[in-house]
A and B are shown apart, each in its own frame.
Chain A
Amino acid sequence: MLNSNLRRHMPFWLSIAAGIAIWEIAGRSTSAAFMVPFSETVVRLWQLIAAGEFIPELLDSGQLFLTGFVLALIVGIPFGLLLARVRVLRVGIEPYIMIVYATPLVALIPFILSMMGFGFAPKVLVVFLFAVFPVLYNTVEGARSIKPEMIEVAQSFRSSEWALWREVMLPYTLPYTMTGVRQAIGRALVGMVAAEFFLSSTGLGQLIMSASQNFDTGGVFASILVIGLIGVGLMRLGLRIENHFARWRM
């Protein structure tokens, strides 16, 4: 049992070990301003944590991410479902959702900065904007996958509104919505870092910025490593949520 488990995870650990070794060698053979080896990155990370600089910034970023992301879900999911149900609304609004979805919304950050300044609210707005459109876009996609005949049949059998939602609308649209939620997690993370870079500097973004301005390459690597690991973890969580609902997909 243990043996087979070990064998299954062997390639993973081998590949991680090889990656760390390459990083270590590359870091040692280049100048310290350019790249720092893995060992020094870990040491630097530990120093930052021990100095009490790291954890508060991490929590700060987390608060920003969660506020914007949860707002995007609270607005995006009900609105998306409303569009799914009321066909004329969906048909009317769907090209605009598609346009905004395809627009690089980072380009709006300078406007948000000059109108709303440096508070917490403009940063939440950035995360919200990044996250809400994938949810809407995918929910609408799901709504399009419902054949109008399905609703007609349900209605001609005098199905109640509640039954229509339970039997047709939700099973068809929610899996798509969850794809949107997964994408939204990734985008909200980009929005979080973008807001921390270009609006008021706080959180992990500020940590990276000040490290790079002080030519503290170790600090830059340490912060990127942590944000990268958070990204990987959140993406896994997103995939798990998506797969959970994908079972409904017809």
Chain B
Amino acid sequence: MTESAIGIPIPVPAAPKVSPRGGRLLGAFIPRFVTGITILLAWEIVVRAFAPAYVAKPSTVVLAIPRVIVDPAFLTATRITLTAVAEGLSIALVFGTAIGLLMGRSPAVERAIRHYVNGFYAVPMIVVLPLFSLWFGYSGATRIATVIFAAIFSIIVNVADGARSVPRDYLEVARAFRAGRLSVLAEIVLPASMPYLLAGFRLAAGRALIGAVVAEFFISSGGLGYFILYNSRVYHHNEAFVGVLLLAAFGVGFELLVAWCTRRFLPWYRREERN
């Protein structure tokens, strides 16, 4: 930055020539590795210098990992949270897709519910927690409900966008062949909205994970969120942080999975964006 301000060009942008893939990956690897080490070192040093002993730092978190991942309490918590996220996401996916398709293809439905879908989508999802706990009690049902609420609107919004943008020609051909309404929805509109569905699912998965963790903080029973809450309350920050790492892995895993699905199954979509 400072060098460039006095006119000396920065040497880096010469790198991306038409190099083979391996060369480019190697070129990215070194700065990434150095940055990673720098972040970990900075964290370690700052915590050692300024924070009390219980605060999580890389060296002690690493030591905690083998201990935590065989801890039955941790495994149960993981299973509970993952099951709830999977259930909630599936429900949100089925109903969200159905509502989204209807909304995208029927102007009447669109006009009737658009403002509510957009409105609920804009509501910070966690405000409904006290209400849901009033309705469903301090139980797993509140968690599922929160996950569904967190996830469904991003799916509806995206699927509706997708259904709206189906090329006219497809629909006209279907009509010319006298296809029924339902089969047009299922066989033309749905596949054509797939990229939007995946984009919505990607958002929904992230929000579902947040919803599950927040609900577990709130209802204080079971799950990874509660595992983290409990362990940090009793000053086992290292153990609690392993839970955070696992959540991060899920978050990143969802992102990568959706990216991979888009590349693998929808190669026709947004080809120009892959550079």
Chain A residues with CB under 8 Å of B247's CB are: 103-104, 107
Interface size on A, residues (CB 8 A): 68
Where chain B touches its partner, the secondary structure class is helix
B122 near A109 with CB under 8 A, answer no
Q: Which of A113-170 contact B (CB under 8 A)?
A: 113-115, 144, 147-148, 151-152, 155, 160-161
Q: Does A64 contact B (CB under 8 A)?
A: no
B252 near A99 with CB under 8 A, answer yes
Chain A residues with CB under 8 Å of B16's CB are: 148
CB distance from B88 to the nearest CB of A (A): 14
Q: Which of B130, B243, B275 touches A208 (beta carbons < 8 Å)?
A: B130
A235 to B118, CA, bound (A): 9
CB distance from B215 to the nearest CB of A (A): 10
Q: Which of A59-108 contact B (CB under 8 A)?
A: 82, 85-89, 91-93, 95-96, 98-100, 102-104, 106-108
* One of B71-79, B160-168, B191-199, B230-238 at the interface: B230-238
Where chain A touches its partner, the secondary structure class is helix
Q: Which of A86, A87, A107 touches B244 (beta carbons < 8 Å)?
A: A107
Chain A residues with CB under 8 Å of B229's CB are: 110
A16 to B229, CA, bound (A): 40
B119 near A232 with CB under 8 A, answer yes
Q: Does A19 contact B (CB under 8 A)?
A: yes
Chain B residues with CB under 8 Å of A91's CB are: 27-28, 31-32
A111 near B124 with CB under 8 A, answer no
B251 near A103 with CB under 8 A, answer yes
Write out, one digit per residue, whether chain B residues 113-156 have a CB within 8 A of any chain A CB (1) or not (0).
Answer: 11110111111111111110111000000000000000000000
* One of B4-12, B62-70, B177-185 at the interface: B4-12
Chain A residues with CB under 8 Å of B28's CB are: 91
A92 near B32 with CB under 8 A, answer yes
Q: Does B46 contact A (CB under 8 A)?
A: no
CB distance from A146 to the nearest CB of B (A): 10
A92 to B121, CA, bound (A): 34
A128 to B138, CA, bound (A): 30
State whether A227 and B127 are in contact (beta carbons under 8 Å apart), knowing that A92-B31, A114-B237, A198-B217 are contacts in the complex. Answer: yes
State whether A106 and B213 are in contact (beta carbons under 8 Å apart), knowing that A86-B1, A91-B28, A220-B131 are contacts in the complex. Answer: yes
Q: Does A200 contact B (CB under 8 A)?
A: no
Q: Which B positions have Cβ atoms within 8 angstroms of A?
A: 1, 4-5, 7, 9-10, 12-13, 15-16, 27-28, 31-32, 34-36, 39, 51, 55-56, 111-116, 118-131, 133-135, 206, 209-210, 213-214, 217-218, 224-225, 228-229, 232-233, 235, 237, 240-241, 243-244, 247-248, 251-252, 254-255, 275
Q: Which A positions have Cβ atoms within 8 angstroms of B?
A: 11-12, 14-16, 18-19, 33-34, 82, 85-89, 91-93, 95-96, 98-100, 102-104, 106-111, 113-115, 144, 147-148, 151-152, 155, 160-161, 186, 189-190, 192-194, 197-198, 205, 208-209, 211-212, 215, 217, 220-221, 223-224, 227-228, 231-232, 234-235
11 example contacts (A-B, Cβ-Cβ < 8 A) are as follows A33-B134, A86-B12, A96-B36, A96-B39, A102-B254, A109-B217, A115-B51, A193-B127, A197-B217, A221-B131, A228-B123
Given contacts A34-B134, A102-B251, A231-B119, 13 further A-B contacts (CB under 8 A): A11-B111, A16-B115, A85-B4, A91-B28, A96-B39, A99-B248, A103-B244, A111-B56, A111-B241, A144-B275, A193-B127, A215-B134, A224-B131
